[in-house]
Structure formats: structure tokens, C-alpha cells
Structure 1
């Protein structure tokens, strides 16, 4: 049986632990901001990551986060084994229940015995995490991404650890919802968070109706350097910027094909690709094959402040993704009053409205993308400024970090105190089961 959670007094805020598979990363500034705002509202947060990120961390704030974060796998195989043996000896019934859960979750992956072996490793990680959580007096665990980090949080809870919740971002979770056992994870969690209306719809799709009240929307919050930036004039330079990991799902090769079409038509432009990843070599080859070396520049990963300057120095931001959740770079661009050219994918249409805040095209259509890029390059400055102002207003309404973190703080307190959150904006929230 799980140990009951002690009620938290008004003057004794709940202690929360965040668990992420790999943290920090260059592309996870939204988690860092969320953590900072939760702490600013009086909730102590302990940071855990299952493993370290292998690439170089660019932003100084992310480097500072890395120093604050405990790495579960730093315990080594011996440390994890000792933690599992200790858990089995001290709470055998809970351990065997968690073991059965690990096997059940592993069988759902559809990868023969590999899924079970992987989840047995997650169980050992959960045993190690449980000891650290107890030493720190943690009352609630919140995981980001509904993948292995949430599996570890669920197994830790089954061992007798604190209640847990998790945030689903997409698209990875929605690619394999049954294999990731999203329904089981939602059932066991105190609550689940989606970052967009689209994300909530996908979670609701895979869980029974009676579990729907657990699913809340908490949007990603923006850094003040974007959200509170003074309006800057649209530059005369015919420059576009794309920010994202260089991987197939981001559609960069379609973007290069669209750029080649623009060059063939004699359109003047500059395209800056910010980010890195496994597709960098192929992108460089395609840039050379199309003779785009003087038009396309790969800038690698950049700090938040550098990205801000690049967006401000462009006419529009481009994101040619095939699959997404709701990209933070779209929020950042709109906050800086730069319209966005993107695709009809996932939660993107919740922010990018054709003719109002930018352009939307079918994913993977180089022809449609080239046409939208041409319009963005040729649009009068006053049109771009009007779109940018509309985008900034929409983002300010939905993505203020302090407001969104406040929703989480309420949910954390409700989880630990065993009460439902208060209604917001006059709309009653369904009670937490």
C-alpha cells in the first residue's frame, strides 16, 4: 500500500520534485522558466533527471540548472541494484506490486522482451529515486513528457512514494499512446497536464471519459525577454529565421527545397537555421546541391538572448514541421511581433491564424511553403507589423509564465492537501478524483 500523504499547513508549502528524462537541454528553456516561476510562488522544487544530455549546453541559465539537478543514473548499476534490494527488503508487498506494474507496462510496448527489461530498469531507477525523495521530504512528483520519466514516477508511487502528475507535450507521446500506456499513467496520476487544446484532445482520446477531469491545460510560459520586449521595427533585410532541432520531423529538407524554388525564381532572401541534430550533414549537402550557400546559413544552437536577436532581425519566423506539440519558438516569435510561417500541425493553429498572425501551409508541401515564404518576404512592413501586434496580444493572453505556473501551484497544493483547485475565471473546474 502507498503511504498516506500528510496534510500540508498553510505556512508549510508542499515540497515538489520535477523529473525529466534528460534535463536541461538547449531546447527546454520552457521547463526552466516553469520551475523558476513555481519557486517564485513559494513552492520548493528539487530537480531530477534520469540521464544527462550529451550535447553542449549553451545558455548560462541552463548551465546553472544543470548544477542544481540530480542525475538518477549517476548512481550507476551497483547503486540502482542496491536501491532495488533495499526496497524489496523494506517494503516487500509494495515492491512486488511495483514489479508487476513494471512488467505490465513493459509488455504494452510491443517490443518482445525488450520492453519488460527496459521497465525493470525503470523500476530500479524508481527505487533509487524513492530514497532521495524521502530524504528530501518531497510531497509530490511532477514529470515532464509522458514517456520514461512518467513511468519512473508511477513506479516510484507504486513503491510507496509520493503522488505524481505529468505534462504531455507531443508529438512523441501521441505517436505511441497505447505502447506508452498513457491511459494507465493518467489513471494512476493525481492529474495530467496538456500544453494546448490539441494536446488535451489527444489525451482525452486515449483515456476513459471518467478520467477526463484529471486532464488540465497549463500552457508553456515565455521568458520576460520575449514577452515584455519593447516593439522593434521590422528590418529592411529580407531575412527569415528557423529555430529547431535538425531532425526529420521538423521538415528542414522541405524548407531547403522551398528555398531552392525561391532562388530559381530570382527571389532575394536570407535564411538562418538555428539548431543542431542528426540531419545537419544532409541539410548541408542539400544546401550545397541547390547552390544555396550564399542564402542559407546554419547557426547551430544559440542562447535565448541570441535567438531573440535573430528573431528581431528577421521579417518572419519559419517552422516547417511534420509533427509538433506547440513549439515555444512560435510563441517567442509572436511575442517579439514577428509573424510566423508554419504548417497545419497539432497545436500550431491555436496561435498562427492565416492572415492574422502569419501563414499556414500543408506539411511537406515545398510548393505551398515557397509561396508563403514569398508572401512574407514581399509583404509591406505595415502588414507584418499588424500581424506581429496581433500575435503578441494572443501570446500575452495565453503564455504568461507566472499565470501558468500559478495553475500548477494550485494543482500541487490540491494534490497534497487532497482538495480540488478553485475555479478560474468563473468557470468551475471538475474535482480531482
Structure 2
């Protein structure tokens, strides 16, 4: 992984735990630690079990690379050539970054021990390090592609090269698989496998019906991609007909000041609760007490929080982008065009006006879909089968 663990990506920790429960031996490697406090005890424990490839510092990493070059000249030259090609494909100014990837790959190879396969989450720098490790003579690799940023510039990311050298590749949605095929060509289609992200259904029982005044809840990093600022504008519209509507925002990030300013501008300080990050239990409790999950994103893969909300029996209001329509439709929630504040407000009104029976039907449909396609145990079993086949 790149940065691990992080509060916004607990699904990776759950995936590892599910694999270990199936008997897979997993060693954790990440490039760096997160630069913010971890709020969940399980994440703090996970941090102690992770090897950080940048932790030794530049001089020690350089010493490892020199020793690797002396002991393994052919492999090191092969990896260096690949790093140079990655650099050439990327934007100018990336030379130092790709030298760092090579040094990290040396550290990874030296630290793998008895590991027979490397699996990277995301097709960006982590997949580059896995590729270079394999070029050094380390084990083969695979990676999981999520999107959306991974697909923005496949040439600069050398996505075709990473796909061609991988043993297999995982896409979390059909949408992601198509994006990978566009980047790599149909020759890599047989390598592409859809393994959907999963949740622990035992930890997410269907919740009782929400209270009549239950708020909308949004969970996620506060950023442009997730467009939480539009929630404030939509809520101001909704207040014209439903003055008691409320929204709870769980998360933190770059756009928090702008969101706070929008709340003040619309006079919604008593109706929007900016809570910051919460641990897993806090997120689960907030969703269980919500009228619906609200996620007006501009760019996504397929958010785990949608699976969590549906598993708890809650409908979802989101946008018609990427993999979201593969889980959410009019039977389990409301989808609106990204960026359309009026449509978002209309969906919120429709949810406010929906009867308890209608909300329950939507939530039940969502729960059934998550049980069928997003059970973490089933997803881990698919990954284990791929590891057994290709490693």
C-alpha cells in the first residue's frame, strides 16, 4: 500500500483480516505512515504490524541498493531500465520520484522473506514498486485498481506496462475493468478479474427504522471529489419546504474551511454537524441512525460507505458516476447527475417525503444486493483463489 493504515481506507484492513481468516499468510508493506492520528484502535494495531519501506531513510536505502547491484547486477540493471521507462512516461520532474521507487523496491525485495506473491492496492506508485521488485528478481505481482484518479492519465502512469507484467489484475467494478482494458488493450482482458470490495455483514446488522427526524449522513474525506459543499447548498434549498432537515458530515480534509464558510453563508449552523473523523463504531452508529446516506460525489470508484449503509438497511442518495450505478438505483435509493444541486435537493426532498415503508423497502433491497455481491468473506475467497492460481 502507499499510506497504510488510514482512517478513510479501513476496507483494506478488513480485506487482509478476511484473507487471514481463510488461511492466507499476509505480510503488510506500505511506503509511509499516515500523517494524521488514527482514530480506530484496530488501525493503530495494524500500524504496528506494517513494514514501512521509506522508514530506513535515504542513506540506508541507497546502501541497500548498492549492495543489491553488486550481488544481483542483471536484475538491478533490468529494474533500473524499467524505472527509467516509468520516468520517461511520466511528467517532467519525476526522476527523483522514480529513483525512490527503485530504492523502495530493493527494500521490499530484501524484506519479503518467504512471500511468494506481491499484491498492491491501487495501480499508481505501489504497483510501480511491485513491478520494479519483480524486475529485480522478486516474486510476481498483481494489483487492485479502484479509480477514479488511477484512470485519468494512463500513459503517464505507465498503466499498460504494469498490466502487461502483472500476473493478474483486480478491478473492483465492471466500470474499472473497462477502464483497465482501455489502458492496456484487449490482449490483457483475460488478466482482468472483478472482485468487488466487501463488508463484514455480521458487523452490520439491519438497523431499526430511523426516527422521523433522522438526519442525512455523509461519510468521507472532505475534498473536491466528494463535493460536500454542494450538500450545504442543496440543504438550503430543501429548507424552503422542510425547515427541520439536518445533515451530519463525518470526515475531514482540505475542503473543511470552505464547507464551514458555506454553512455560515446559508445560516445552517444548527442544521449541519461537522463531526470530523469517527472510528468504525461511530460510523456504523451514525449510519444506523440516518434517514439515508448522502454522497454527491464528482469522482469515485465504488465507496465502501454505500455498501455499509445498504447493509444496515438504509437507502442511498448519490450520483450517477463510475461504479455507483452497479449497486444503487431507484429500487434502493436516488441517483442524480453529479454537480446538479437542484436534482440533489429534489432527491433529499423525495427521501424526506418517503413513507417509512418505502424507506424500509429500499433499505431491504440494498441489503440483499450487498449480501449477494459485497460480502467480505466471498471477496476474500475470490482473491485467495486468484493467489492460488497465479502465485
Range of TM-score over shorter length: over 0.9
1:73 and 1:237 map into 2 onto residues whose CA distance is 49
Distance in 2 (alpha carbons) for counterparts of 1:205 and 1:71: 33
Q: Which residue of 1 aligns with 2:386?
A: 411
Query: What is the distance in 2 between the residues matched to 1:108 and 1:264?
Result: 52
Scaled by the length of structure 1, the TM-score of the pair is 0.89
Is the aligned partner of 1:392 residue 2:332? Answer: no
Unaligned runs of 5+ in 2: none
What secondary structure sits across from 2:371 in the alignment?
helix
Equivalent position to 2:11, from 19, 23, 30: 30
Give the aligned length.
391
Aligned to 1:73: 54
Per the TM alignment, residue 43 of structure 1 is displaced from its structure 2 partner at its CA by: 1.1
For 2:135, which of 145, 148, 158 is the aligned residue?
158
Match of 2:347 among 353, 356, 372: 372
Q: How far apart, in 2, do the equivalents of 1:329 and 1:56 lie? A: 21
- Distance in 2 separating the partners of 1:72 and 1:115: 19
Q: What is residue 69 of structure 2 aligned with on the other side?
A: 88
Report the alpha carbon displacement of residue 223 of structure 1 after superposing the two structures with TM: 2.2
**Is 1:60–2:41 an aligned residue pair?**
yes
Match of 1:140 in 2: 117
Q: Which of 285, 304, 320 is 2:261 aligned to?
A: 285
3-state SS in 2 of match to 1:22: coil
Matched, 1:195 2:172: yes
Residue 39 of structure 1 aligns with which residue?
20
Cα distance, 1:117 vs. partner? Answer: 2.2
Is structure 2 residue 192 aligned with structure 1 residue 211? Answer: no
* Residue 214 (structure 2) pairs with residue 233 (structure 1): no
Return the alpha-carbon distance in structure 1 between the equivalents of residues 185 and 176 of structure 2: 16
Task: Give the TM-score taking structure 2 as reference length.
Answer: 0.98
SS of the residue aligned with 1:53?
A: coil
How far 1:260 sits from its partner (Å)?
1.4
Aligned to 1:271: 247
1:266 and 1:333 mapped to 2: Cα distance?
A: 23
User: What's the offset of the Cα at 1:226?
Assistant: 4.4
Following TM superposition, by how much is the alpha carbon of 1:266 offset from its aligned partner in structure 2, in angstroms? Answer: 4.6
How far apart in 2 are the matches of 1:377 and 1:297? 18
Q: How well do the aligned residues superpose, as a CA RMSD in angstroms?
A: 1.1
SS at structure 1 position matched to 2:79 = helix
Q: Distance in 2 between matches of 1:388 and 1:243?
A: 18
Residues 375-403 of structure 1, C-alpha deviation per residue, up to 9 Å, x if partnerless?
11111100000000000000100011111
Native 8 Å contact 2:214 2:289 kept in 1 = no
Q: Please give the alpha-carbon distance, in whole angstroms, between the structure 1 residues aligned to 2:225 and 2:152.
A: 12
Partner of 2:296: 320
Match of residue 99 from structure 2: 120
Q: Distance in 2 between matches of 1:235 and 1:309?
A: 13
Is it true that 1:362 corresponds to 2:337 in the alignment? yes
Structure 1 segments unaligned to the other structure (5+ residues): 1-19, 417-433
Note if contact 1:226-1:332 (Cα within 8 Å) is conserved in structure 2: no
Q: CA deviation at 1:225?
A: 4.6
Distance 1:191 1:39 in 2: 20
Q: Deviations over 1:160-191 (max 9, x none)?
A: 00000000011110112221111110100000
Q: Residue 318 of structure 2: SS of its match in structure 1? A: strand
Question: Take 2:335 and 2:57, find their aligned partners in 1: how far apart are those partners?
Answer: 47
The alpha-carbon deviation at position 231 of structure 1 amounts to 3.9
Aligned-residue offset at 1:221: 1.2
